[in-house]
């Protein structure tokens, strides 16, 4: 490996000294690690937030009903994000349910969605 061009992972300055050095000093190492931590966690937090919001929207829309049908626009207005779901279920008749945790929806005709609560699985 060519060590002549080794640079600090944090500030990009050329490194001198030990071959296995990755940072100028402790400060650069700490800054880099903090950013990594933040950088990897942020999307997780963001997507978890969307999934929880999706679930809350479905839960509130469904209330105590077993199923309810809502227009695509109505879901969008509530802030539902169709990009994210936790899992999907395809029935034998090729109906696709997308779930956010224990609440899910299935696309019907006319741009409408049927909202359901996941059945408890009994072993
Ligand atoms: Zn540095």
Q: What is the pLDDT of residues 48-71, one digit of tens each?
A: 999 999 999 999 999 999 999 999
Does the structure show a pLDDT above 60 at 123? no
Residues with CB under 5 A from ligand 1 (ion): 8, 10-11, 24, 28
Q: Please report which confidence band the pLDDT of residue 121 belongs to, taking 50, 70 and 90 as the band edges.
A: low
In a domain, 34, yes or no: yes
Mean pLDDT throughout 15-44? 84
Q: Please report which confidence band the pLDDT of residue 91 belongs to, taking 50, 70 and 90 as the band edges.
A: very high
- Starting at the edge strand found earlier in the chain, the sheet holding 87-90 runs 67-71, 112-117, 103-107, 96-100, 87-90
Dist. CA 100 → ligand 1 center (Å): 43
d(CA 42, CA 34): 12
Which residue is associated with the tokens 């408890």? 120
Q: How many domains is the chain partitioned into structurally? A: 1
> What pLDDT score does 34 carry?
83
In a domain, 18, yes or no: no
In a domain, 79, yes or no: yes
- Of residues 28 and 45, more confidence is placed in 28
Domain carrying residue 110? 26-117
Dist. CA 38 → ligand 1 center (Å): 19
In a domain, 20, yes or no: no
């Amino acid at each position: 490996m060519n060590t002549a061009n080794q640079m600090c992972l944090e500030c990009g300055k050329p490194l001198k000294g030990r071959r296995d050095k990755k940072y100028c000093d402790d400060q650069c190492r700490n800054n880099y690690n903090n950013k990594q931590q933040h950088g990897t966690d942020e999307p997780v937090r963001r997507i978890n937030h969307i999934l929880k919001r999706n679930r809350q929207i479905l839960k509130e829309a469904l209330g105590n009903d077993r199923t309810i049908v809502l227009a695509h626009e109505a879901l969008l207005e509530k802030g539902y994000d169709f990009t994210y779901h936790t899992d999907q279920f395809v029935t034998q008749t090729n109906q696709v349910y997308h779930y956010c945790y224990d609440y899910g929806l299935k696309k019907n005709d006319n741009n409408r969605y049927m909202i359901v609560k996941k059945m408890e699985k009994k072993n």
